[in-house]
């Protein structure tokens, strides 16, 4: 059967106490709903429909790039009513997998196993076993262990409240049967809502087999209803990612203090110190070391490179055996060849630096083409912006710039040139020459430093 996925994401999320729709709150740098869409798409379904409601325009605009269909639930009348809004998009010969936009940690393997348990004449549901089932719907089984129905917490009897196997809401149901059962739903319950869970009792009555799969861990099926639960889910995800990294051979100084908010790919013998944050797509080569308190976003780092403490790297390409930091910043478009050194309080933006070049102290390299073996002296600034436009600077191989130099773009500095300290260079610099561009030092012998007048003492 073709698989169709329906993701319920219409809830307002009042307990989040935020104007941002609940499903857009970030987990590891991405909206909760984005995590669910990604795992749904990984199953390669025929179609994915997101049922949206509260803050719908914002939700759709934020996730407009996603290849999903949208179904509006204008009034929130329960989960059964929500799935009804997706029915027009579902074909009777499909198997419908129901997911939730606020359950972001569900794993592909668990869903694959759940889908395999369902068929044209059977349905499956995902359950969990918890020590404290307060607030959850209970899975009610008969003496033979067969699922009979799901009872919501507010509707449960005292014996049923003792049941620790609980409903996650995630299920796989043949569309033709689902359409029939949804048409029979009633809202005569404590909440006055149309419960999707009531289709389980209908399936039993129609002698349709109901299989319950217990989730590998309760953490995988946790829903997010407030900021506390959001932090808990973030913690679970962080721990899982850290575990996967260590199993893959990465050394983490403290697994609890590494945040991966995207995709991190590591070579052999990589080590990561505390409070490192990885965002977007990051690739680390073999023997890369990441120091403490670094933020690295959409960056590729070559073999043997060391990123020292307190660096920020964004949309940059770093070659092999480089040393970056401490307190360095690589902005978008920075591209470093091998064995480049970028030191403390140096910023590189939209520039290429050739093999073995160095900028070790207090410098800005912007919109520049820097050759090999160039030494950018302390305090050197490339003045690339005239107030309206950016201009390019070319620094050829083996150039040395003296401390506190200013190179005013557009300009070319020839091979082997040396620029004297304190120079402000506005014209092309010839190769293999010493260029000075500074005022002649003058001493004024008769000059006297001004002094402040002493105030008169009181009473004088």
Between β-strands 406-408 and 147-151, what pairing exists: parallel, antiparallel or unpaired? unpaired
Indicate the pTM of the whole model. 0.87
Q: List the one residue out of 366, 368, 365 whose CA is nearest residue 342.
A: 365
Q: List the one residue out of 10, 216, 237, 197 whose CA is nearest residue 104.
A: 237
Instruction: Spot the catalytic one: 54, 153, 361, 391.
Output: 361
DSSP 169-221: EEEEEEHHHHHHHHTT----STT----TTHHHHHHHHTT-EEEEEE-S-GGGG
Q: What is the DSSP letter of 38?
A: H
Domains, the chain: 2-221 (3.90.550.10), 227-435 (2.160.10.10)
Q: Tell me the pLDDT tens digit for each residue of 215-264.
A: 999 999 999 999 999 999 999 999 999 999 999 999 999 999 999 999 99
361 is catalytic: yes
Mean pLDDT of all residues in 6-21: 92
Q: Tell me the pLDDT tens digit for each residue of 146-193.
A: 999 999 898 899 999 999 999 999 999 999 999 999 999 999 887 889
Between β-strands 358-361 and 375-376, what pairing exists: parallel, antiparallel or unpaired? parallel
Round to whole Å and give the CA distance between 57 and 239.
Answer: 34
Phi/psi for 128 (5° steps) reads -145, 155
CB 298 within 8 A of CB 282: yes
Query: 324 pairs with which residues across the strands?
Result: 307, 342
pLDDT score recorded for residue 33: 97
């Amino acid at each position: 059967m073709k698989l169709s996925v329906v993701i319920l994401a219409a809830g307002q999320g009042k307990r989040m106490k935020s104007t941002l729709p609940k499903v857009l709150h970030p987990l590891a740098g991405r909206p909760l709903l984005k995590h669910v869409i990604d795992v749904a798409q990984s199953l390669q379904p025929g179609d994915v429909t997101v049922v949206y409601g509260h803050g719908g325009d914002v939700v759709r605009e934020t996730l407009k790039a996603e290849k999903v269909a949208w179904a509006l639930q204008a009034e929130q009348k329960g989960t059964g009513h929500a799935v009804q809004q997706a029915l027009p998009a579902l074909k009777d010969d499909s198997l419908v997998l129901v997911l939730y936009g606020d359950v972001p940690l569900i794993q592909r393997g668990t869903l694959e196993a759940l889908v395999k348990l369902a068929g044209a004449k059977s349905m499956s549901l995902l359950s969990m076993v918890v020590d404290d089932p307060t607030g959850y719907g209970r899975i009610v089984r008969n003496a033979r262990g067969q699922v009979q129905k799901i009872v919501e917490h507010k509707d449960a009897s005292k014996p049923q409240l003792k049941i620790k196997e609980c409903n996650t809401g995630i299920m796989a149901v043949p569309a033709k049967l689902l359409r029939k059962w949804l048409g029979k739903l009633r809202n005569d319950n404590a909440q006055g809502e149309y419960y999707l869970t009531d289709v389980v009792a209908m399936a039993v009555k129609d002698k349709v087999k109901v299989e319950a799969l217990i989730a590998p861990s309760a953490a995988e099926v946790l829903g997010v209803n407030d900021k506390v639960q959001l932090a808990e889910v973030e913690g679970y995800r962080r721990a899982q990612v850290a575990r996967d990294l260590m199993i893959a051979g990465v050394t983490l100084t403290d697994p609890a203090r590494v945040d991966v908010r995207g995709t991190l790919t590591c070579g052999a013998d990589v080590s990561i110190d505390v409070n490192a944050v990885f965002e977007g797509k990051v690739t680390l080569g073999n023997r890369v070391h990441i120091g403490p308190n670094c933020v690295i976003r959409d960056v590729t780092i070559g073999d043997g490179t060391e990123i020292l403490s307190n660096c920020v790297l964004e949309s940059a390409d770093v070659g092999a055996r480089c040393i970056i930091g401490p307190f360095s910043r690589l902005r978008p478009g920075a591209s470093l060849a091998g064995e480049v050194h970028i030191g403390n309080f140096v910023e590189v933006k939209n520039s290429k630096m050739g093999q073995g070049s160095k900028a070790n102290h207090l410098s800005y390299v912007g919109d520049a083409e820097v050759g090999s073996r160039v030494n950018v002296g302390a305090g050197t600034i490339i003045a690339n912006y005239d107030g309206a436009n950016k201009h390019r600077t070319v620094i050829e191989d083996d150039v040395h710039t003296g401390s506190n130099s200013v190179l005013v773009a557009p300009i070319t500095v020839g091979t082997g040139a040396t620029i004297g300290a304190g120079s402000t260079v506005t014209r092309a610099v010839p190769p293999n020459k010493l260029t000075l561009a500074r005022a002649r030092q003058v001493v004024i012998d008769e000059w006297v430093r001004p002094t402040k007048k002493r105030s008169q003492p009181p009473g004088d």
